Structures are given as C-alpha cells and as structure tokens.
Amino acid sequence: MTRNNETSTGHHPQTGKVPLVLKGRAKNLALAGIFLSTFVSMLSMNVVGTSMPRIIADIGGTQASFTWVVMATTLSSAISTPIWGKLADLTNKKILMQLAITVFMVGTIFSGMANDPSWLISFRVVQGLGVGGLGVLGQILLAEILSPIERGKYMGIMGAVMAVAPVGGPLIGGLFTDTIGWRWNFYVAVPFAIAALIMLQITLRLPTERKKVTIDYAGIVLISTGFSSLLIWITLVGSAFEWVSWQTATMVGAGLLLLAVAVFVELKAKEPLIPLTMFKDRTFTLSVLASVSVGVAMIATMVYIGQYMQIARGRSVIESSLLSLPMVAGLLISSTIVGQLISRYNKWKAYVVTGAIALFVGVVMMGQLRYDTSFWYVGVSLFVLGCGVGMTMQNLVLIVQNTVAPNDMGAASSAVTFFRTLAGSAGMSVMGTMLGHRVIDLLTEGFAKLAATNPEALVGSDALREGAIPNVSELNPALAVVVEEAYGQAIGDIFLASAPVALLAIVAVIFLPNVPLGNKNNAQRKAAQVSTQTGSIDQIA
C-alpha cells in the first residue's frame, strides 16, 4: 500500500507483510537526517582541534592530558565501530541510530562543561562512542532504504558532507574560541543532533525481522581490548616511549595475544562480531586493502599538511585551514559527480581505479614539497589527492554492500570503516615518528652550516635539537629559515615514503570483481530470502 504518497512496499512472499520502501518527501527528510548526523559527528571530531591548547590550559592540563583528550575520542570511536555495525545486523537500526545520537549528545554536552582533564577525557570517550555509531550507522541506513544503484549518488553526497567538516571545523573552532569561548565548540553540535533525532523519528520507517538475538560478548571484549592496546601503543610510541621498549613489548604482545584468542572465538561464535568468513569474499578483502591506503593518505594529509603550512610556510592556523581547501574541493567535486555517474550508468570500476591512481599521484606530488614550493603546486597536489579520496572512500563501502549477504550488511560496512580508521591511525603514528627523526637530522645539518657562518643565530636552538615543535614567528630570521627548510623537506619525504601504500590501492581495485550494482535495497533483499528463514517482517512506527 501507499501512505500519503510518500512510501511504498514490496510484497512479502510468506506472510503478506511487506518491507517498507521510503519515497518522496519522507525519503528526502530521512536522508537529510542521516546526512546531518554524519556531518555533526565529523564536525565534532575537527572543531576542537585548533582550540585544544587553550582548552587544556584553561582546565589545568598537561601535554599528557592533551594526548589523552585527543586519543579518547579517536580510540572509542574506532573500537565501537564494529560493535555498532554488528548490532545493526541483529537489532532495530532506527533505535540504534537514535541511541548513537543520544550518546553523542551526552558526551558532547558534558565535555563542554568540563573543568578538569579527567572529566574531559571521560566524556570525550562517551562522545567517541556516539561518533563511532553515527559514522557507520549512516552508511548502513543508506543501504537499508536505497538500492546499490541508487545509493551511488547518495554515497557521493555523504563523501561531500564528510569533506566539509575537516576544514569547517577548525575555522568554527577558532572563531568560537576567540569570541564566545571554547565550550561552544562542543555545544554547537547539540541543536543539529536534536534536529537529526527528530527528523529520523518522524520520517524513518524500517522493516524489522523478529528473531532471537545472540550477542558475541566474548568477541566484543577480546577485539575491543586487543585493538585498544594496539591503538594506544600506536598513539604513544615514539613520543611517550621508544619503539623498542618494554612498553612496546607489553602493549603489542598483549594486543596480538588477545586478537589471536579473538580469532578462535569468532570462528566458533554463532553471531561473530566480525565474521571472518567475509574475508573469503574477494570483493570484501580487496576493498579493505584499498581502504587501508585511503585511510593512510587521508588522515596523514589532514594532520601533516597543517604542520607544513604552519611551520614550513609560517602560516596561521586559520590560514592553514583555508589553504587546505583544494583538497576539500577535490573530494567534494569528485565524490558528488562520480556518485551521480555511478547511479546513472551502473558503472563503478573505471571511476574507482581512476580514483586510486589519483590517490597515488597526489601522494607522490606531495612528496615533492619543500619550504619554498609554489602554493599553486601545493594546491594542485591537494586537489588531486582529494579527488582520489573522493572517488574511492565511500565507493569502496558501496562495492562491499553490493555483494555482501544482507544479514552481514552492518558487520561488513563497519569493518571497512574500522580498518580504514585503524590504518589511518597507524600510518599517522609511523609517519610522525619518521618526521621527528628526519627533522632532527635535517636540523643538525642546517645548524652545522649556520654555526660556520652566523653562530649567534643558534641562540635558542637547543630545544629544537631535541624535537620541540617550534613557533617559527618567535625565532630569529636565520634560525627560522633552517627550521622551515627542515620541516618542508621532511614532510615531503614522509609523503614520498608512504607512496607504496597508495600504490597498494591501485593493485587492490584493479583486481576487484566488476559486479554490477543491484536494484534492491537491503530490506528487499532480506525479504527475498525469507522463504528459507524463520521469523516475520513488521513495520515499525
């Protein structure tokens, strides 16, 4: 039947009940709620970046507090992603999305009220749990209400939404911090989250399958603690302790042991958190490998292009954000246009392969950066890299969703996102360590030359020799040039060193099976299988 010309249904082969298909205004509002939720979560991850030093100073924190505040959200978001995804396969997706929004709002509001580091760290963990849910559940809900062939253009829009936050966030954060106060960096997201909650409640109608739910608690504990140990190590190694140390041995050893036990448990579990059988599917495995490359390129660029602009080029935080706009433009344009083309012609492989090539070319171009590189060249490099990310990131999720079994949609979608995030964090840590060593080597060479010609200029250089991050504007001109040269070349070098990882994406996507996109959403695919399953399909209000 059709209700208010906004919904339609497809016949259920056993019970006569039907999976609901959203149409018209209801579909558009539901999609708007999903996109708004995704934008809010991405914005919250970026808006506090520029103001974090001020926040930590105001609440009496230390450098260690700074690290843990940043890590709290990243860690809880990454670790919770596969949990949200699996729960989406087992329970009501709409309620899960509303729960994720609520958890996010609680964490955000109380983070904004923080008066000491412990309070802020604790509620940044809560906020991260919500962010993890919002990110992956948005992709899962798109699969539930849109067919793969229609989903292409909306995945492009989601990619565009995700592109705006990394630049818009720091700009908004800097503005609020300098005017009405840093606490509004947290509070600004709350009205939008409430709006998304209301929109989804009113418009989102999903079929739900009644079945006995078995939750893999052992897998959740083992995988969460195992990857947490590795992520904490990735975050702290090279700064809090050396790569070869007892801390490394303990964290890596414990993490690998827990994950080894998790593999055994997952193979035996009735409803495993991450079904290992998915890795037998070539599409899934190759998409994960390609996503690893995208994660390293995207996250590392967002982090280290800021250092390049601020240290090697002497630009302010706001200027650095504006100068990174070419990457956002590339991501925005490519993801939107390619998404539309995929939906129109049901062809995806050529675009994804082209995107992987653009990703590799962009990384290699970034590898040529120096302190005096033309801003035109920097902008073009960022644009090409952004195009590569835009043409691959969301489409790799789409490709997996197109071939995975309907009952594994949540687990598969979350796994691609999870491994991309994990790889990005690992890549950022490794590149950070490489950057630190390379900078010290180049500074040592530069200081030796400066000592021979202008030894007085070396006053204040001792801290720099030990790896302190400089404020270039406070250095004397001769010393500033040495620092700018060192950081410019070192940042270019670490991008070039990451090129083989980007090359992996090209190899992976070339061998992806070229499976045409389907024309049924996930609810319809489940209904088509119901004759071999028990349970019933009901509509939820």
Q: 81 in a domain, yes or no?
A: yes
| 257/361 same-domain check | no
Q: Tell which wins on pLDDT, 509 or 447.
A: 509
Q: What is the dihedral of CA 275, 276, 278, 283, to 10 degrees?
A: 140
Nearest CA-CA partner of 398 in 387, 419, 412, 385: 412
Quick: pLDDT tens for 286-310. 999 999 888 888 877 777 887 888 8
pLDDT at residue 51, as a whole number? 74
| 264/279 same-domain check | no
Instruction: Please tell me whether the overall predicted TM-score, pTM, comes out greater than 0.75 for this model.
Output: yes
Q: What is the average per-residue pLDDT within 480-505? A: 91
| 89/223 same-domain check | no
Q: 420 in a domain, yes or no?
A: yes
Alpha carbon 527 to its chain centroid, in Å, reads 32
pLDDT at residue 400, as a whole number? 92
Quick: pLDDT tens for 348-403. 999 999 999 999 999 999 999 998 999 999 999 999 999 999 999 889 999 999 98
Q: Tell which wins on pLDDT, 102 or 6.
A: 102
Q: Tell which wins on pLDDT, 499 or 211.
A: 499
Residue type (1 letter), 522: N
Q: What is the average per-residue pLDDT within 181-208? A: 85
> Counting Cβ atoms within 10 Å, is residue 212 exposed (0-12), middle (13-18) or buried (19+)?
exposed
Q: What is the average per-residue pLDDT within 133-159? A: 85
| 126/261 same-domain check | no
| 311/419 same-domain check | yes
Q: 142 in a domain, yes or no?
A: yes
Residue 211 has pLDDT above 80, yes or no: no
pLDDT at residue 321, as a whole number? 74
Q: What is the average per-residue pLDDT within 457-470? A: 73
Quick: pLDDT tens for 152-190. 888 777 777 777 776 677 778 777 877 888 888 889 889
pLDDT above 70 covers what percent of the chain?
A: 89
Q: What is the average per-residue pLDDT within 508-515? A: 93
pLDDT at residue 21, as a whole number? 64
* Cα–Cα distance, 286 to 507 (Å, whole number): 9
Helical spans, DSSP H, in 63-147: 63-90, 93-112, 117-145
Q: Any idea what DSSP says for residue 272?
A: -
Residue 146 has pLDDT above 80, yes or no: yes
| 226/198 same-domain check | no
What's the total number of domains in the chain? 2
* Domain final residue, candidates 269, 289, 313: 269
Q: 520 in a domain, yes or no?
A: yes
Range with lowest mean pLDDT among 95-104, 233-242, 404-413, 481-490: 233-242
Q: 349 in a domain, yes or no?
A: yes
pLDDT at residue 22, as a whole number? 64
Show the domain range for 246.
217-269
The CATH number linked to 111 is: 1.20.1250.20
| 161/232 same-domain check | no
Quick: pLDDT tens for 246-271. 999 999 999 999 999 999 999 888 88
* Domain final residue, candidates 269, 284, 309: 269
User: What's the pLDDT band for 12 if we cut at 50, 70, 90?
Assistant: very low
CA distances from 269 to 274, 275, 532 (A): 10, 9, 22
Q: 18 in a domain, yes or no?
A: yes
Q: 2 in a domain, yes or no?
A: no
pLDDT at residue 10, as a whole number? 45
Q: Tell which wins on pLDDT, 268 or 321.
A: 268
Q: Tell which wins on pLDDT, 535 or 93.
A: 93
Residue 18 has pLDDT above 60, yes or no: no
> Counting Cβ atoms within 10 Å, is residue 452 exposed (0-12), middle (13-18) or buried (19+)?
exposed
| 264/180 same-domain check | no
Sign of CA dihedral 416, 421, 427, 430: negative
The tally of CA atoms less than 13 A away on the side-chain side of residue 86 is 24
Residue 115 has pLDDT above 50, yes or no: yes
pLDDT at residue 125, as a whole number? 92
| 265/283 same-domain check | no
* Cα–Cα distance, 422 to 424 (Å, whole number): 5
Q: What is the average per-residue pLDDT within 311-339? A: 84
Quick: pLDDT tens for 27-47. 788 888 888 888 888 888 777
> Counting Cβ atoms within 10 Å, is residue 215 exposed (0-12), middle (13-18) or buried (19+)?
middle
Q: 540 in a domain, yes or no?
A: no
How do beta strands 20-22 and 7-9 pair? antiparallel
| 49/115 same-domain check | yes
| 228/302 same-domain check | no
pLDDT at residue 188, as a whole number? 87
User: What's the pLDDT band for 6 if we cut at 50, 70, 90?
Assistant: very low
* Domain final residue, candidates 269, 297, 330: 269
In whole numbers, what is the pLDDT of the chain averaged over residues? 83
| 117/185 same-domain check | yes
